[in-house]
């Protein structure tokens, strides 16, 4: 499971570890490799896994998991995705614009200044304060990598004949639930389940449960 833009493996574990374990699946959560190679390193981590891979992630991590699946369909056993933010080129997608703004703020104000300048829920500020610190001087570059990388197109998703579970948050303007719906409509075997950011703030596993339950439904075992 791969982290989202500016996030880390700690948050991935808090979201997915227990929901996956409840389904009998052991989580592997590689730490991000900050800088220009962020995406390539994440894709390499998936490719280095042995056997069929159940890939997934949050936001940018979901995009990368799907990108890997498109390139390696025979190795992908399914996808567990949370909060996809766009399909194809990012264009004016809110998550892309937000990440580019954050990168600019980090370059001009530093991490603390950028966090203070971006109104967000307290739980999210706490998560980003920890995660962003782990990126060091490569944070802004990492944010820009995530903001500018294309995700699979709807036509590419339509060729993925594997079970896919997608979690969306109905109250998330950065990762619109409509995008999750578009992904699911394109994928041959996908189910979407929704929660809310206000719930995830108090219980991060709610996002993982939604994605895992959607996957099990898509796989025909729940």
Sheet containing strand 76-82, edge to edge, reads 53-58, 76-82, 164-169, 190-195
Helix, strand or coil, per DSSP, at residue 5: coil
Q: Is the pLDDT confidence value at 141 over 80?
A: yes
Per-residue pLDDT, 117: 82
User: What's the pLDDT tens digit per position in 79-102?
Assistant: 999 999 999 999 999 999 999 999
Lowest mean pLDDT among 10-14, 96-100, 115-119, 124-128: 115-119
Question: How many residues would you count in the chain?
Answer: 222
Per-residue pLDDT, 6: 96
Per-residue pLDDT, 187: 98
pLDDT band at 119 (very low <50, low <70, confident <90, very high): confident
| Helix 122-135 / helix 9-22 crossing angle, nearest 10 deg | 120
Q: What gap in Å lies between CA 32 and CA 146, rounded to an integer?
A: 12
Residue 189 phi/psi, 5-degree rounding, is: -135, 75
Instruction: Report how many helices (DSSP H) and strands (DSSP E) the chain contains, helices first.
Output: 10, 4
Helix, strand or coil, per DSSP, at residue 191: strand
Query: What is the CATH topology of the domain spanning 9-88+151-218?
Result: Rossmann fold (3.40.50)
Q: Is the pLDDT confidence value at 76 over 90?
A: yes
User: What's the pLDDT tens digit per position in 146-155?
Assistant: 999 999 999 9
**For the residues of 30-57, what is the DSSP string, one character each?**
PPP--STTHHHHHHHHHHTS-SSEEEEE
pLDDT band at 51 (very low <50, low <70, confident <90, very high): confident
Q: Determine the average pLDDT of the residues in 194-215.
A: 97
Q: What tokens appear for 157 in the block?
A: 């998703």
Q: What gap in Å lies between CA 70 and CA 164, rounded to an integer?
A: 13
Q: What tokens appear for 45 in the block?
A: 């981590």
Per-residue pLDDT, 116: 86
Q: Is the pLDDT confidence value at 32 over 90?
A: yes
Q: Is the pTM of this model over 0.75?
A: yes
Q: What tokens appear for 168 in the block?
A: 């969306």
Helix, strand or coil, per DSSP, at residue 81: strand
Q: Which residues contact 147 (CB under 8 A, 6 or more apart)?
A: 5, 90, 95, 96, 97, 99, 100, 103
137 DSSP assignment: G
pLDDT band at 126 (very low <50, low <70, confident <90, very high): very high
Domain boundaries, the chain: 9-88+151-218, 94-144
């Amino acid at each position: 499971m791969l982290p989202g833009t500016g996030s880390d493996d700690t948050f991935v574990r808090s979201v997915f570890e227990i929901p996956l374990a409840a389904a009998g699946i052991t989580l592997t959560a590689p730490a991000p490799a900050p800088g220009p190679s962020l995406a390539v390193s994440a894709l390499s981590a998936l490719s280095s896994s042995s056997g069929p891979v159940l890939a997934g992630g949050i936001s940018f991590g979901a995009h990368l998991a799907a990108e890997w699946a498109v390139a390696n369909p025979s190795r992908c056993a399914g996808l567990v995705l949370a909060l996809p933010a766009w399909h194809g080129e990012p264009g004016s997608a809110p998550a892309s614009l937000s990440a580019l703004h954050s990168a600019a703020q980090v370059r001009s104000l530093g991490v603390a200044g950028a966090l203070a300048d971006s109104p967000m829920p307290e739980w999210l500020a706490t998560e980003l304060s920890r995660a962003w610190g782990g990126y060091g001087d490569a944070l802004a570059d990492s944010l820009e990598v995530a903001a500018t990388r294309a995700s699979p197109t709807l036509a590419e998703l339509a060729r993925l004949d594997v079970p896919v579970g997608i979690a969306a948050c109905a109250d998330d303007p950065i990762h619109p639930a409509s995008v999750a719906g578009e992904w699911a409509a394109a994928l041959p075997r996908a189910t979407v389940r929704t929660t809310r950011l206000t719930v995830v703030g108090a219980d991060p596993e709610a996002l993982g449960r939604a994605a895992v339950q959607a996957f099990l439904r898509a796989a025909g075992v729940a």
